[in-house]
Amino acid sequence: MEHSYQEVLAHGAFLAMGEELPSCPEAEASLRCLMRGNAQYLEHRHNPSELSDLIRLTTAHEGQHPYAAVLCCADSRVPAEHIFGAGIGDLFVIRNAGNVLSPAALGSLEYAAAHLHVPLILIMGHRGCGAVVAALQKHRESGALGDLIAEVTLGIGHAHDPRQAERNNLRRSLEGLGGSALLRDLADRGKLGFAGAVYDIRSGAVELLLNEE
């Protein structure tokens, strides 16, 4: 599973700003760090990250400087920090069922990018996503859950295959980032990169989403 980080980041930049692709070495380093964390998780099956009193007190005193923002599913089998080997202060994580780019999720990502200066936004779907299955099977739900499934239904588009539906839903959230003037501006100035990925809840592997998929 060797993917070009540059290619992925270029894809993210493409979503934000058209044909001119700025390089964002910080985003590339951030993505590399995430993928290295996942590789270590796959090798050792545990999270060796910093959870000490010291890091807790240090971040409480000095503030947070996460190296990436991640929007992923609320599914309990998708624990973002663990699968990336991340600890306190490492990742700014937003989760909801179906990794929908809701106004609250987008606002949170804008906060992370503008105020915490994360160089990378990763949106991560996953295999076996219940929200995607519910949308595929046209489950009728009422209330806010119905609204959520309606969003995922828009995300999956015309897909019938669950894997394609997961990718479509992820891609919709990824493309939605381009609707933020604030995020676009940061990407235009080479300060922010975007990437998409799919997490396999069986193997534990994170697979980057590439342009052609």
Nearer to Zn ion, 29 or 201 (CB): 201
CA distance 186 to 88: 25
User: Is 115 strand, coil or helix?
Assistant: coil
Nearer to Zn ion, 11 or 127 (CB): 127
Nearest Cα to 14, choosing from 212, 203, 202, 194? 194
Contact stretch for Zn ion (CB under 5 A) within 14-22, 121-129, 158-166, 198-206? 121-129
Residue from 129, 156, 195, 208 binding Zn ion (CB under 5 A): 129
Query: Judged by CB under 5 A, does residue 110 bind Zn ion?
Result: no
CA distance 171 to 208: 12
Do 48 and 98 form a contact (C-beta atoms < 8 A)?
no
Degrees, nearest 5: CA angle 112-27-197? 85
Considering only residues 63 through 82, tell me which ones interact with Zn ion, judged by CB under 5 A: 73, 75
Nearer to Zn ion, 15 or 131 (CB): 131
Shortest approach of Zn ion to residue 182 CB, angstroms? Answer: 27
Shortest approach of Zn ion to residue 117 CB, angstroms? Answer: 29
Nearer to Zn ion, 9 or 97 (CB): 97
- The burial class, CB within 10 Å (0-12 / 13-18 / 19+), for 204 is middle
Shortest approach of Zn ion to residue 189 CB, angstroms? Answer: 33
Residue ranges binding Zn ion (CB under 5 A): 73, 75, 129, 131
